[in-house]
Chain A
Amino acid sequence: MTADPVAEAFRKEFGRAVAILIRALGDFDLAEDAVQEAFAVAAERWPRDGVPANPGAWIVTTARNRAVDRLRRARILERKQPELARLAQLVPHDDEEDAVSSVADERLALIFTCCHPALSVEAQVALTLRLLGGLTTPEIARAFLVGEATMAQRLVRAKTKIRAAGIPFRVPPDDALPERLAAVLATLYLIFNAGYSDVRGELSREAIRLGRTLTALMPDEPEVLGLLALMLLHDSRREARLDGDGGIVLLEDQERSLWDGAQIEEGRALVETALRHRSPGPYQIQAAIAACHAGPESDWGRIVLLYDRLLRLQPSPVVELNRAAAVAMADGPEAGLTEIDRIDGLDGYLHFHTARADLLRRLGRREESHAAYRRALDLEPSAAERRFIEGRLAST
C-alpha cells in the first residue's frame, strides 16, 4: 500500500472521475481540469481532515462542484443549462458520496473514444495515458522521448479533433465492436511494449493497470483477458531479462527465481478462463505461448502448434520467424534453419538475422553465422543487443 492516499486515489480514480464528468459535460478539457482541481483540493484537505470513506465519490462530487462554479463564472449560463442539469443528476440524494458511487462507470466509453481510429495512433496512446491513466503531459513526453511542448500540442490537437470531427463518446454498437476493440487492445499493447525495453517498466505497469480496468469492464471478452494475460506473463520476467550490466539474458539462461511467480499464476489462470470461451484470438494464443515458457521446461512441440494457429489467424513473417525458432527447439537447428530460409520479407529485420546466426552457430557453420551476425549489426541494434551480438562474434 502506498503511503500517500491522494496519490493512491489518483491512480485508482482519475480515469473514472474524468469519464463521468465528460459524460455530464460533453467537454474533455473542462472535465479534465475539474478533476485535476478536485485532486488538488484533496491534497490540501485529506492530510488535515482525514481521507473520506469513499475517496472516488468524494473526488467526483468535488469535481462536479468545481465544474458548476466554472460554468457559472463563464457567464454562458443560459446556454449551459443541459450540462448543469446533468451535473445535478450526478448527486441526486442527500448522501452525496453514496449517490456518486452508483453513477455508471463511463470509462469504457472513454477508452473507445481515446482509441477511435479517426485519431492517429500517437494521439490514441497519449490520450489514453493522460485521461485514463492520469499521467501528466511531461510524464508521457518523457516516456516517448519527445519534448513536453510537442506532447502538449499532440494532446490539444487530439481533443480538438474529438470535438470538431464529432467523435462520439460511447461504446461502439455490436456490429462495430470487434474491430474497435481490436484497436483498443492494439493501443494498450503498444503502451506495454513501449515500456518493455525500459527496465523500470513504468509504461508496462500502466498498460497492465489499464488492462485490468478493461478486464473488469468487459469480463466476457476473451481477447481482453488474453491481452492482460500476455502482458502479465511477459512482464513477470522483467527482472531476469537483463543482467547486472544491462546485458540481454536469453530465456533459457534466465534465473527463474527472479521471475514473478504470482504474476505468472495470474496470467496462466487468465489464459485458461479466456480459452474456455472457445473463441481464440491472437492475444489468447500469444498468451498461451508465453504460459508455455513460464513452466520449468518449455514445451516446444506445443509451442509450434500454437504458432501454427496464430499464423492462421494472423499471417505475418515475424510470426513465421518465431515459429521457426520454436521448430529449431523442438526438432533441432537443421529443421529450424530450413523453416527460416523459407521466410520472405524479413531481410531488414534484426531478429531474423540473429535467429539465423544462432542456428548456423549451433550447426557449426561459423562463417555463415558470423556473416549473419554482422548483417544484424547493420540494422541499428539497441546498445544491449549490440553488446550481445558482439559477444557472440568474439566467442564463436
Chain B
Amino acid sequence: MQYMCLIYDDEKTWESMPEDERNAVFADYGTFTESIKESGNYVAGDALQPVSTATSVRVRNGETLVTDGPFAETKEQLGGYYLIEAKDVDEALKIAERIPSARYGTVEVRPVVVWEE
C-alpha cells in the first residue's frame, strides 16, 4: 500500500532554531531519505516553501477567486511530505516516526486510495 506522510510543524520553531541545530535536522532528513530509498519504501518526497508563499484558488459559479495565503491558518503548517510504500499501517507508522519533524511537529499518515479497475 502507499501512504502519504504529511509533515506539519510550526514554522516559527524552525525559523527561531539556532543554525547548527537546523543544519543537524537537515542532515537527519538527508540520512532518513537515503535510508528509505535503500529499503525500497521511498516513492516521493519534498519540502515546501513556508505558508507565507502560499496562494489559494477557488472556482465558484465559473469565477476564479485567487487569494493570498494558505487554506487555513493553523498553529502547525504543512511543511513537506513523503509518499511511501509500506505493507501495512504498522510499517508506515514505523517509518513516519523516524521523520525528523515528528520530534517537534506532527506527521499525519494517510493511506492513498487505490481505484478499482
Contact = CB atoms under 8 A, between A and B. Distances in A.
Contacts, number: 23
B93 A166 contact: no
B90 interface: yes
A146 interface: no
A346 interface: no
Interface in B62-117: 86-90, 92-93, 111
B112 to A, nearest CB: 10
A165 B90 contact: no
Contacts of A164: 111
B25 interface: no
A167 B111 CA distance: 11
Task: Select the residue from B1, B3, B111 with max chain A CB neighbours within 10 A.
Answer: B111
B35 to A, nearest CB: 18
A168 B88 CA distance: 6
B83 to A, nearest CB: 15
Contacts of B86: 166
Nearest to A162: B89
A44 B62 CA distance: 62
Contacts of A168: 87-90
Contact of B111 (A116, A166, A172, A176): A166
A250 interface: no
Interface string A114-142: 00101000000000000000000000000
Contacts of B111: 164-166
B90 A176 contact: yes
Contacts of A116: 89
Contacts of B92: 166
A116 B92 CA distance: 14
A165 B93 CA distance: 11
Interface residues of A, number: 9
B102 to A, nearest CB: 15
Nearest to A116: B89
A194 to B, nearest CB: 27
Interface string A130-170: 00000000000000000000000000000000001111100
A234 to B, nearest CB: 33
A168 B90 CA distance: 7
A181 B109 CA distance: 22
B1 to A, nearest CB: 5
Nearest to B114: A164
Nearest to B1: A166
B88 A118 contact: no
A164 B92 CA distance: 13
A165 B112 CA distance: 9
A146 B94 CA distance: 35
A79 to B, nearest CB: 10
Interface string A95-126: 00000000000000000000010100000000
A37 B12 CA distance: 58
Contacts of B87: 166, 168
Contacts of B1: 166
Task: Select the residue from A116, A118, A166, A167 with max chain B CB neighbours within 10 A.
Answer: A166
B43 to A, nearest CB: 15
Interface string A308-329: 0000000000000000000000
Contacts of A172: 90
Task: Select the residue from B1, B3, B90 with max chain A CB neighbours within 10 A.
Answer: B90
B62 to A, nearest CB: 34
Contacts of A176: 90
A176 B89 CA distance: 13
Nearest to A163: B111
23 contacts: A116-B89, A118-B89, A118-B93, A164-B111, A165-B89, A165-B111, A166-B1, A166-B3, A166-B86, A166-B87, A166-B88, A166-B89, A166-B92, A166-B111, A167-B88, A167-B89, A167-B90, A168-B87, A168-B88, A168-B89, A168-B90, A172-B90, A176-B90
Interface of A: 116, 118, 164-168, 172, 176
Given A118-B93, A166-B89, 10 more contacts: A118-B89, A165-B89, A166-B1, A166-B87, A166-B88, A166-B111, A167-B89, A168-B88, A168-B90, A176-B90
